[in-house]
Amino acid sequence: MKFFFQKSFISEVKKLLKKNSYKDCEKAIINDIFILESDDLLAQCVAYRLNPNAKNPIAKLRAGDEQGKSSSFRVYLIAVAIKNNYYFGYIYPKQGVYGKNSLKSKEETKIIKNLLNDIKKGDVIEVKLNKSKDKICYVSDDKELFK
């Protein structure tokens, strides 16, 4: 499995991590998405897909729901099942200062179009877990993404 972040996704996570109430954001992404086996992650992408009839799922997944689903994060993810690639396009919390109940249809469409364009241009960043599986790192140089 390969994971790719859109630059705007990285910026959004960094913004969230600056607030104490969202300090578990990276941990939530790791525990609820990165650690899953490929089949389980793909099954989640299929279960929560925004494009029911397309061959590659575009999904909105929940991460960090230990405190209940209303306080979790929503991650917009495009899963390219053929190549086993997962592209992260957007994240937002359900509560707190940056909290949103949901995105409007136009907002979802814009996020998905921007992510698809960045994928086509190769303007996404490949990431992985570090050896202890508690931090997300750049594949290119093994540096932690969210310090």
SS (H, E, C) the chain: CEEEEEHHHHHHHHHHHCCHHHCCHHHHHHHHHHCCCHHHHHHHHHHCECCCCCCCCEEEEEECHHHCHHHCEEEEEEEECCCCEEEEEEEEECCCCCCCCCCCHHHHHHHHHHHHHHHHHCCEEEEEECCCCCCEEECCCCCECCC
Decide the pairing of beta strands 58-63 and 73-80: antiparallel
Give this prediction's pTM.
0.88
- State the Cα–Cα distance between residues 33 and 28, nearest whole angstrom: 8
Kindly state the tokens that stand for 16.
């969230």
Q: Per-residue pLDDT for the chain (147 aa), expressed as one digit of tens each?
A: 899 999 999 999 999 999 988 989 999 999 988 998 888 887 887 777 777 777 777 888 888 866 554 457 888 777 665 578 899 999 988 888 888 888 888 998 899 899 999 999 999 999 999 999 999 999 999 999 998
Residue with tokens 């689903």: 69
Q: Residues 71-102, buried b or exposed e (16+ Cβ, 10 A)?
A: bbbbbbbbbbeeeebbbbbbbbbbbeeeeeee
Task: Identify the CA nearest to 98 among candidates 36, 34, 11, 31.
Answer: 11
pLDDT of residue 103: 85
